[in-house]
Amino acid sequence: MLALLSGIVTARLYGIRVIGEFALAYAPTGAVWYLSTVREQPALVKALAPLRPRDPLVTGLFTAVFAFSTVLTAIVAAAAALVAWLLFHGPIYHPRLFAPAVLSLAGCLLFANPGWNVDTVLSAFRTGRQLFWIRLHQTLIYLLLAVAASFVLPSVWGMMLALVASYATSLAHRAIVARRWIDFSIPRSAVRAGFSELSSIVRFGLKLTPGFLANGASNEIGTWILGAVSSVAGIGAYNRAWSMSQRFVEAEFRITEMLFPTLVERHGARDREGFDRALMDSVRYAATGLLFPAAVAGGAASGVMSLYGPGFERGATTLAILLVLPALLSTGSMQAFALVAVNRPLATTFVALARLSVTIATGVGLSLWLGISGMAIAMVLGGLVQLILQSLATRPHIHTPLLSLWPARQIVGLAVAYVLGFAVSHGLDGLTPEPAGLILGLAGGSAAYALALLLVGGLLPRDRQRAGKVFRGVRKLRASGGQAALSSSRG
């Protein structure tokens, strides 16, 4: 939610043109995120999941993987800088964006990549609460610094400096937190043991790499295609729509980084029922949760895009389309990690390559025909193909009947909830001027979505048990908070 607020605030402060320039300047770093890995991080999670916190081998494996990741990132960042120079002085022709692009690449190498490696260890031990505070810190620092910079440096430089600074401060936070799970004072023998395992980690990761690169290219290709066929203002509108969608795509990473170690453990323990339930319940909850903003915010897309300021309303249709993508990618990604957990990583590569092929094949033509909305359609088509193929590949490894894990009634209820939520939100958004129309649309669409979901789809017994556990936990927290306040007042 804070990241969404950051997108709105920075768009209003910097304007559509600077947002478009920032998207282009950051694009090389976006490419490096995907190219500077041989998927050693998921392979490391797989190796760490059975270990205990502060085991010497944890530090040994982390040290080896971090050293490998740093060298690889440095090489890829240097290559990306060269390609960026050629593109910014050539086909795209925005030469003054090369310097901020280099700053972004340096921030990625020095601060973001080390932070990513620390997060790998934290996610292996499922430290969700600590990761929440770290990422909240990073997002909040970026927002505060971007706002401050807009008054003294209202250009792409202000946004880029704020981004790099947020990487740096959150890295310090990560280093402090990680000491609970990594013992940094260990004998050299543990480090040697970690490096001796590096080759097997890299070999396993290499099987995932082509698919990861293909998915990364699919995510970033929209900016590059539009950079060649659209205006900077058009890219700016697309960037804000894509950024909002990307905030929900991140839910995929947040869920799978907790789900993957669980799947590894249950597969290792031969707990087939537990494996199937963990996977499919995660898929159910993710699809339900991510189709909610797709319906409600997608229906009120005109009002949502108007929040960004003048000119961004041209991305309303694009936003409505792109908001469907997180649900497709998230449910497909969970199944991909299930295949990795059962040692079938190559299947994920073929599926990802199919998505990339569809996205590129349709993206260029649809962008020339329909502009930024055409690129959005291409992104969704690629995600849909990936989900279908991924489901077919995962099905043989699920031993419980699917309809007992996800009943047909709930599937139908989810579809009805999306359609009804979108229609109500869209209809109410246009009744009154903004922002009143937006508020009305979001409220009405939310109510319609929830009502249809409950009345048509219903809840499974384990859903009610989990909901009851959450409510009891909330009541307990409130009661303890009230007692603490009472004690404080007495004192």
Q: Domain segments of the chain: what residues?
A: 1-207, 230-471
Read off the pLDDT of residues 175-201 as tens digits, 9 standing for 90 and up: 999 989 888 777 788 888 888 888 888
pLDDT at 251 over 80: no
Q: Is the peptide bond before 91 cis (omega within 30 degrees of 0)?
A: no
Task: Please say if the pLDDT value at position 243 is more than 90.
Answer: no
Burial tier of 130 (Cβ tally within 10 Å: 0-12, 13-18, 19+): middle
C-alpha distances out from residue 422 to 123, 293, 324, Å: 35, 9, 11
Q: Are 422 and 293 in contact (CB under 8 A)?
A: no
Q: Confidence band (pLDDT; 50, 70, 90) for 485?
A: very low
Determine contact, residues 28/104, Cβ cutoff 8 Å. Answer: yes
Q: DSSP class of residue 49?
A: T
pLDDT 10s digits, 73-107: 999 999 999 999 998 888 777 889 999 999 999 99
Instruction: Give rounded-to-5 percent helix, strand, coil for the chain.
Output: 85, 0, 15
Contact 342, 203 (CB under 8 A): no
| pLDDT score recorded for residue 490 | 42
Packing angle of the helix pair 113-124, 156-178 (nearest 10 deg): 40
Give pTM, 2 decimals.
0.73
Instruction: Assess contact for 355 and 218: CB atoms under 8 A.
Output: yes
For 263-291, what is each residue's pLDDT tens digit? 988 888 889 999 999 999 999 999 999 99
CA angle 311, 312, 315 (to 5 degrees): 125
Over residues 226-247, mean pLDDT: 80
